[in-house]
Amino acid sequence: MAGLRARRARRQSAFRWTVLAVMGIFFLLPLAAMVEFTTRGDSGTWSLLADWPKLSETYPDLADGIVASLGQALLTALLMLVLLVPTAIWVRLRLPGLRPLVEFICLLPLTIPAIVLVVGLAPVYAWVNYFLGGSSLTLTFAYTILVLPYAYRAIDAGLSAIDVRTLAEAARGLGASWFTVMARVVLPNIRSAVLSAAFLTVALVLGEFTIASLLNRTNLQVAINLLGKSSATMSVAVSLAALILAFVLLLLLSLFGDRRKASR
Amino acid sequence: MATVLDGPELAAPVPPVRAPRGRLRLNQLRSLLGTLPFFAYVTVFLVIPTLVVAIGAFAGDGGFTLANVSALGDSYVLDAFGRSILLSAVTALIGAVLGAVLAYALATARPGGLLRRVVTAASGVLAQFGGVTLAFAFIATIGLSGFVTVFLRDNLGVDIYSGGVWLFELPGLVLVYTYFQIPLMVIVFLPALDGIRPQWREATESLGGSTWQYWTKVAGPLLAPAFLGSTLLLFANAFSAYATAAALVSQGNPIVPLQIRSALTSEVVLGQQNLGKAMALGMVVVVAVVMTLYALLQKRTARWLG
């Protein structure tokens, strides 16, 4: 039996490395090609990318897009937390009967493609334009809807892992207001869930193109696409940088999520 | 918008849970008030847009009309739906098979290991972040002056575009979509593989079963609902994708999302706007059917592998 298991482990290991090697080539080839494409000749693409003042002077649209995307990511993460965390806690404590409905609504955007949402959002954004102007930061409202499924699942998992009711009753028994219960008792206990929801939000917003492009606003992806028409090298370089940034974000998320499990 | 943003303040002044019976209803009403910001927000930015699409699809100049929906029967719209479904089905199948193999290779690795972590994070990026950046990745790889194109032409004398430049058409979309479908399969299928217990294999062996029998009689049937469900999810993912196609396709609108774009942006033909809504409704119907089947299969998967 033991010999059989050792043989199987060896076979599995050989299989694993063969699959990883073949897939690795398929997945790394485009990334390697991006590096080669952007370092052809001595165009100085990468040094320009590191030099912000010069970059915003040479490619003002790209700089605008980057600034817009960072602002959208920050605001969306904030709005998502303000909207979702109190509601999720509140529904768990006071209105458990509403939980299926809230969950259904939060997961609904998964079944509505962004391209469909944009069709319906166009008239809503006519009003947003009327009240708040046409700033690219107003995309925050649509993005908060887009990230709902991912953020809700992260926060809901965090809340499931602690005994919210006992914590809240203890705090209420000691005279805490509901605001204190949420901000100073429950929130610190779901810190890592909130953080992973925020990370996912940032990664998703930085990668969004459909809504920004069709509502005639700018962000990183719209700028990359626009730049592709005039300077392919630069847009490939920015694409690669954006992919690497998202990868680092998600890797940090995975490392952080694991530490949470280990510490419990 | 101001009322939407101050959630905690609205929720704060509600009294504690236990109250005399007469005040129960009032209390519940106040509890509901705490969820008001959330429901108000999703009403404005999710429910209303959905209704706009659903109602707009049946709205014409003089009220209710079936003209938009019957325009879905036009050959160019039907062709677009056909191509969209074909593209989604092909890439879902390729992605599901190759992704399942990759996921299995990962499942045999150490659970908390660096290999698994790196591949999972990379899969997350390619599956969800992709879009425009992936289009440019492939332009750099097999575009007209891409790395692979140039290498093959200069060193091996092979011209991959001897039959026309296919990267910016449907075959190119299949290739690039596969590039984000495989990682998505890894993400959604890995949890099911992790649910397979080594004891089941040991039990098969102690009863005299072979590896072949284990895969066809035990692991196969257990994983089948998860595999089918994941394939459906991949289909929905490809069907809804817009960014990659928008950045890559240069001529015409071969698939539905691009048709919707042209209906949204064209000001030439009046009434196109509502045809766009009808096509959008058509997309929702397809995705909803697929996702319902997915949810059913997911329930079946959870019975054993949850």
Report, in angstroms and rounded to the nearest whole number, the Rg of chain B calculated over CA atoms: 25
End-to-end CA distance of chain B: 41
**Residues of chain A positioned with their CB less than 8 A from the CB of B182:** 23, 27
The residues near A244 (Cβ < 8 Å, ≥ 6 apart) are: none
State the nearest Cα–Cα gap between B39 and chain A, in angstroms: 9
Q: Which of B46, B40, B284 is nearest to A148 (CA)?
A: B46
In chain A, the residue whose alpha carbon lies closest to the alpha carbon of B262 is: A214
CB-based burial label for A261 (10 Å; 0-12, 13-18, 19+) = exposed
Q: What is the pLDDT of residue B10?
A: 41
Give Cα separations from B16 to B2, B12, B31 (angstroms). 27, 11, 10
State the nearest Cα–Cα gap between B163 and chain A, in angstroms: 22
Nearest to A247 among B45, B121, B264 (CB): B121
CB-based burial label for A7 (10 Å; 0-12, 13-18, 19+) = exposed
**Residues of chain A positioned with their CB less than 8 A from the CB of B264:** 118-119, 122, 214
| Single-letter amino acid code for the residue at A239 | S
pTM of the model: 0.84
pLDDT tens-digit readout, A52-91? 888 788 888 888 888 999 999 999 999 999 999 999 998 9
Q: What is the pLDDT of residue B23?
A: 62
**Residues of chain B positioned with their CB less than 8 A from the CB of A117:** 46, 49
Q: What is the pLDDT of residue B7?
A: 39
Yes or no, beta carbons of B48 and A4 under 8 Å apart: no
Mutate: best of A119, A230, A252, partner B, most B CBs <10 A: A119
Q: What phi and psi, each to the nearest 5 degrees, are found at residue B130?
A: -20, -110
Q: Put residue B292 in one of left, alpha, beta given phi > 0 → left and psi -120 to 50 → alpha.
A: alpha
**Residues of chain A positioned with their CB less than 8 A from the CB of B276:** 119
State the nearest Cα–Cα gap between B108 and chain A, in angstroms: 7
Nearest to A16 among B35, B108, B246 (CB): B108
Question: Measured between alpha carbons, how far is B185 from B233 in angstroms, rounded to an integer?
Answer: 9
Long-range contacts (CB closer than 8 Å, 24 or more residues apart) made by A70-73: A71/A136, A71/A137, A72/A136, A72/A137, A72/A139, A72/A140, A72/A143, A72/A205, A72/A208, A72/A219, A73/A201, A73/A202, A73/A205, A73/A206
| Single-letter amino acid code for the residue at A61 | D
Q: What phi and psi, each to the nearest 5 degrees, are found at residue B63?
A: 90, -145
Question: Measured between alpha carbons, how far is B66 from B278 in angstroms, rounded to an integer?
Answer: 10
What DSSP state is assigned to residue A162?
A: S
Yes or no, beta carbons of B11 and A79 under 8 Å apart: no
CB A198 within 8 Å of CB A185: no
Mutate: best of A1, A16, A115, A254, partner B, most B CBs <10 A: A115
CB A77 within 8 Å of CB A202: yes
Q: What is the pLDDT of residue A2?
A: 62
Yes or no, beta carbons of B283 and A113 under 8 Å apart: yes
Pairing state between β B59-60 and B63-64? antiparallel
**pLDDT means per 10 residues in chain B (306 residues)?**
38 48 70 87 91 83 74 81 92 94 86 82 83 89 83 80 78 90 89 83 87 86 88 91 87 84 71 77 89 85 71
pLDDT tens-digit readout, B162-174? 777 778 888 889 9
CB B7 within 8 Å of CB A86: yes
CB B11 within 8 Å of CB A179: yes
Q: What is the pLDDT of residue A46?
A: 76
**Residues of chain B positioned with their CB less than 8 A from the CB of A253:** 121
pLDDT in tens, chain A (264 residues): 566 677 777 877 888 888 889 988 988 999 998 888 888 876 677 777 777 888 788 888 888 888 999 999 999 999 999 999 999 998 988 888 888 899 889 988 888 888 899 988 988 988 888 888 888 889 999 999 999 998 998 898 888 888 888 999 999 999 998 889 888 888 888 888 888 888 888 888 988 999 998 888 898 999 998 888 888 888 888 889 888 888 888 888 777 765 555 544
Which residue in the block uniquely carries the two structure tokens 């289909």? B235
Question: Measured between alpha carbons, how far is B50 from B53 in angstroms, rounded to an integer?
Answer: 5
Burial A137-151 (b: 16+ CB within 10 A, else e): bbbbbbbbbbbbbbb
Yes or no, beta carbons of A34 and B136 under 8 Å apart: yes
Q: What phi and psi, each to the nearest 5 degrees, are found at residue B14?
A: -75, 135
Yes or no, beta carbons of A119 and B52 under 8 Å apart: yes
Yes or no, beta carbons of A239 and B8 under 8 Å apart: no
CB A48 within 8 Å of CB A55: yes
State the nearest Cα–Cα gap between B266 and chain A, in angstroms: 12
Give Cα separations from B44 to A26, A99, A169, A208, B275 (angstroms). 43, 20, 34, 21, 23
Yes or no, beta carbons of B276 and A119 under 8 Å apart: yes
Nearest to A124 among B38, B48, B139 (CB): B48
Nearest to A120 among B49, B143, B242 (CB): B49
Q: What is the pLDDT of residue B11?
A: 44
State the nearest Cα–Cα gap between A54 and chain B, in angstroms: 23
Question: What token pair was written down for B29?
Answer: 């009403």
String of DSSP letters for B28-49:
HHHHHHHTHHHHHHHIIIIIHH
- Report the Cα B26 to chain-centroid distance in Å: 43
Question: Measured between alpha carbons, how far is A164 from B115 in angstroms, rounded to an integer?
Answer: 35
Q: What is the pLDDT of residue B47?
A: 92
Q: What is the pLDDT of residue B93?
A: 95
